[in-house]
């Protein structure tokens, strides 16, 4: 006979200024998760990692609602991990200090752990295979106008959006400039520890532009579904002048909105002028669910390219218009990569002179 009480109806959370808690970004992520067409399939009785767990509220809320077998809340901030553990105990025990059991006879302490980790290093180092990854990762958008201008000048023959796909050696730098570097790292690390049918869910700020954000997932071979999109206000003291300078030297336009209800995107230049006149601007925040189209093939391809074809792997673009063409082309790429990796002589003859 189990002693203790049943599920708590409302979460109790400790918050401190240096640790992320329930704010616009994390609340939108949780709302997006609730908009997933079948959240039971990705959480119930599954092994889940939450990146950027902050004070732990999403990890705890997910566990309360869907009873995953284990949730690993991960954050690089050691203070966040300490606060998350405190919050876990606050919600795992009742007012008398007795454990609160769920319908399966387990407590939050059985299902949730928090660990200091640089993205998914903890799961990788402990050989934890995941069913799902949920990410609430900060985006720092501080492009260098000079450096980016050089990239644009060297790629004048291309549409700007294609720079993310065609400039292999520079792509990581470009993603960093647009505040997407950490998310890109998390996606690539996730591919190494998630099960083939696993799901990743990330929220992504839309200031770089929706197409740029979606390209991050598509070119790595993911099929994406937008679960939710909302707008969050841009802090009035945020300096976006670097974005304006960048727009002067490129065809790219960042995406802001006038107020919280405007539906027509405006450029960084217009946004800055509007803010200087006393107006308030917002930007989109989207939640994406991602699954690899052909997980076994894509992972095999990535592993082969890591072995001596690093620059080629950075140039890889696995975004395709439909699943049928994706299957054919990815299968061929795996064969070609395997062929090159085996160091076999190239059977192709040079063209006749």
Bridge-based pairing state of the strands 281-292 and 112-116: unpaired
- Could you tell me the residue range of the domain that residue 93 belongs to? 24-135
**SS3 at position 282:** strand
**Nearest 5°: CA angle at 173, between 171 and 179?**
105
Residue 33 has pLDDT above 70, yes or no: yes
Residue 113 has pLDDT above 60, yes or no: yes
Mean residue pLDDT across the chain:
86
Residues 315 and 239 in one domain: no
Residues 151 and 283 in one domain: yes
Residues 109 and 188 in one domain: no
Contact predicate 28/203, CB 8 Å? yes
* pLDDT at residue 76, rounded to an integer: 96
Residue 157 has pLDDT above 50, yes or no: no
Please compute the mean of the pLDDT values over residues 125-134 and round it to a whole number: 98
Residues 179 and 257 in one domain: yes
CA 152 to chain centre: 26
Find the CATH number of the domain harbouring 89: 3.40.50.150
Residues 285 and 313 in one domain: no
Residues 150 and 251 in one domain: yes
Residues 170 and 202 in one domain: yes
CA dist 350 and 314 (Å) reads 27
CA dist 162 and 116 (Å) reads 36
Please compute the mean of the pLDDT values over residues 34-42 and round it to a whole number: 96
Residue corresponding to tokens 């929706």: 210
* pLDDT at residue 210, rounded to an integer: 87
Residue 160 has pLDDT above 70, yes or no: no
Residue 178 has pLDDT above 90, yes or no: no
In a domain, 102, yes or no: yes
* pLDDT at residue 273, rounded to an integer: 95
In a domain, 243, yes or no: yes
Q: Range with the lowest mean pLDDT among 59-63, 103-107, 136-140, 198-202?
A: 136-140
* pLDDT at residue 83, rounded to an integer: 97
Residues 155 and 269 in one domain: yes
Q: Pick from 44, 49, 65, 34: which is nearest to 112 by CA?
A: 49
**SS3 at position 186:** helix
276, burial (CB in 10 Å: exposed 0-12, middle 13-18, buried 19+):
exposed
* pLDDT at residue 2, rounded to an integer: 47
In a domain, 18, yes or no: no
* pLDDT at residue 341, rounded to an integer: 78
Using CA atoms of 123, 129, 133, 135 in order, give the dihedral in degrees to the nearest 10: 10
In a domain, 236, yes or no: yes
Residues 189 and 126 in one domain: no
Say how many domains are in the chain.
3
* pLDDT at residue 165, rounded to an integer: 45
Q: Model-level pTM? A: 0.88
Please compute the mean of the pLDDT values over residues 337-345 and round it to a whole number: 74
CA distances from 185 to 115, 159, 248 (A): 19, 25, 29
CA dist 135 and 307 (Å) reads 28
* pLDDT at residue 166, rounded to an integer: 44
Q: Range with the lowest mean pLDDT among 43-47, 141-145, 244-248?
A: 141-145
Please compute the mean of the pLDDT values over residues 215-227 and round it to a whole number: 93
Residues 288 and 306 in one domain: no
CA dist 68 and 66 (Å) reads 6
* pLDDT at residue 330, rounded to an integer: 86
In a domain, 140, yes or no: no
In a domain, 76, yes or no: yes
* pLDDT at residue 238, rounded to an integer: 84
In a domain, 152, yes or no: yes
Q: Pick from 324, 44, 24, 313: which is nearest to 199 by CA?
A: 44
Q: Which two tokens stand for residue 13?
A: 């959370």
* pLDDT at residue 314, rounded to an integer: 67
What does the pLDDT look like over 320-333, one tens digit per residue?
877 778 888 888 88
pLDDT interval class at 53 (50, 70, 90): very high
Please tell me which of 140-154, 267-281, 326-340 the model is most confident about, judged by mean pLDDT.
267-281
Long-range contacts of residues 264-267, Cβ cutoff 8 Å, at least 24 apart? none
pLDDT interval class at 161 (50, 70, 90): very low
**SS3 at position 280:** coil
CA dist 188 and 86 (Å) reads 31
* pLDDT at residue 342, rounded to an integer: 80
The helix (H) or strand (E) run that includes residue 223 is strand 222-233
Residues 254 and 159 in one domain: yes
Backbone angles phi, psi at 86, to 5 degrees: -60, -45
Please tell me which of 72-81, 176-185, 310-319 the model is most confident about, judged by mean pLDDT.
72-81
CA dist 339 and 96 (Å) reads 65
In a domain, 96, yes or no: yes
């Amino acid at each position: 006979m189990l002693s203790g009480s049943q599920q708590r109806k409302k979460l109790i959370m400790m918050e401190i200024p240096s640790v992320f808690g329930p704010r616009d970004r994390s609340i939108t992520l949780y709302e997006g998760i609730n908009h997933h067409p079948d959240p039971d399939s990705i959480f119930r009785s599954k092994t889940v990692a939450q990146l950027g767990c902050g004070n732990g509220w999403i990890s705890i809320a997910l566990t309360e609602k869907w009873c995953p077998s284990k949730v690993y809340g991960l954050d690089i901030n050691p203070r966040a991990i300490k606060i998350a553990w405190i919050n876990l105990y606050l919600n795992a025990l009742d007012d008398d200090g007795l454990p609160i059991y769920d319908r399966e006879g387990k407590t939050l302490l059985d299902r949730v752990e928090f660990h200091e980790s640089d993205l998914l290093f903890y799961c990788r180092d402990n050989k934890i295979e995941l069913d799902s990854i949920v990410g609430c990762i900060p985006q720092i958008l501080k492009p260098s106008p000079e450096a980016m201008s050089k990239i644009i000048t060297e790629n004048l023959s291309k549409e700007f959006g294609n720079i993310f796909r065609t400039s292999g050696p520079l792509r990581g730098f470009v993603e960093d400039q647009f505040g997407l570097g950490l998310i890109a790292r998390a996606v690539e690390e996730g591919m190494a520890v998630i099960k083939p049918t696993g799901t990743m869910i990330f929220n992504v700020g839309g200031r770089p532009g929706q197409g740029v954000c979606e390209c991050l997932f598509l070119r790595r071979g993911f099929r994406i579904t937008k679960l939710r999109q909302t707008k969050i206000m841009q802090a009035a003291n945020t300096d976006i002048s670097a974005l304006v300078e960048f727009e002067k030297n490129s065809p790219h336009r960042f995406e802001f909105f006038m107020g919280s209800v405007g539906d027509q995107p405006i450029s960084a230049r217009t946004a800055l002028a509007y803010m200087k006149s006393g107006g308030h601007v917002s930007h989109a925040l989207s939640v994406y669910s991602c699954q690899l189209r052909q997980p076994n093939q894509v992972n095999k391809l990535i592993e082969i390219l890591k072995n001596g074809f690093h620059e080629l792997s950075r140039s890889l673009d696995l975004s395709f218009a439909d699943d049928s063409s994706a299957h054919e082309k990815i299968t061929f790429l795996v064969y070609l990569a395997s062929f090159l990796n085996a160091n076999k002589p190239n059977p192709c003859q040079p063209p006749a002179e």
